[in-house]
Amino acid sequence: MISYAHSVSYGSHLLEFTVRRRERKTLEIAVEPDASIVVTAPINASIEAIEEKVRRRARWIVRQQRYFGQYLPRTPEKRFVPGETHLYLGRQYRLKVSGDLKNTVRLARGFINVTSVRPNNPEATRELVEKWFVERAHHKFRERLEVCLLRFSDPEAFRPTGLIVRQLEMRWGSMSPAHRLMLNKRLIHAPVEGIDYVITHELCHIAEPNHGPSFYSLLDRVMPSWSTRKERLEELMA
């Protein structure tokens, strides 16, 4: 994949965007949750064609940036010390850390209870808790995938070839051309309704790779409440 920065002027706005060239036939523009602009273009698309497409979509781009902008800047990074709160499936849990001869992480009565051989080391606590979050993400995302597949009239036609959980900097999820579903590990902090929105959104890309009218028509049919779910997700996870 070839990637580089570019920009065009639109009135008083300078639209700075990243161009990512791939083996594809169509050109797609996305505004990410951090308000950055990404243009995914065919390998042989001219820069003039890309600029023209961005200018044609400029009003929509600015509107999307303003939408995401209301949730910026992001909240400060969480600390891994006793008393700090952390989100899990949309609910706040307070961190409790105690010493023990083995490392464990358990959820109970509003607390994330951590026992550690290094209870006074926040970095050690971070490693334990983040590992637990990732383990829970793999389990919960697979569970919700099965639920979301039932939204489609032919669930098996929308089943991804694999599920990958990892840190994604600018998006909640993606669907590869080979139909591998990738989800941001941070989604484990979101409510189930938000997780379901992201999964369902990405499953729709199996039938409709681009964000055109056909894509949104399908998304509207299988999840009529998607826009409300999306807004709540961005608001809570800002």
Task: Determine the Cα–Cα distance for residues 112 and 109; give it in Å rounded to an integer.
Answer: 9
Tell me, what's the pLDDT at 78?
A: 81
Measure the CA–CA gap between 55 and 191, rounded to whole angstroms.
36
Give me the tens of pLDDT residue by residue for the chain, a chain 238 residues long.
Answer: 677 788 888 877 789 899 999 888 889 999 887 788 999 999 999 999 999 999 999 999 988 888 877 765 555 678 899 999 999 999 999 999 999 999 999 999 999 999 999 999 999 999 999 999 999 999 999 999 999 999 999 999 999 999 999 988 778 999 998 999 999 999 999 999 999 999 999 999 999 998 888 999 999 999 999 999 988 888 887 6
Looking at the DSSP assignment, which residues form a beta bridge with residue 106?
A: 113
Peptide bond into 33 cis (omega under 30): no
76-238 belongs to which homologous superfamily?
A: Metalloproteases ("zincins"), catalytic domain (3.30.2010.10)
pLDDT at residue number 23: 86
Report domain extents, the chain: 2-69, 76-238
**E strand or H helix at 4, and its extent?**
strand 2-10
Q: What is the pLDDT of residues 140-173, one digit of tens each?
A: 999 999 999 999 999 999 999 999 999 887 789 9
Q: Please report the pLDDT score of residue 145 as a whole number.
A: 98
- 140 by Cβ neighbours in 10 Å (0-12 / 13-18 / 19+) ranks as middle
How many angstroms separate the CA atoms of 145 and 222, rounded?
Answer: 14
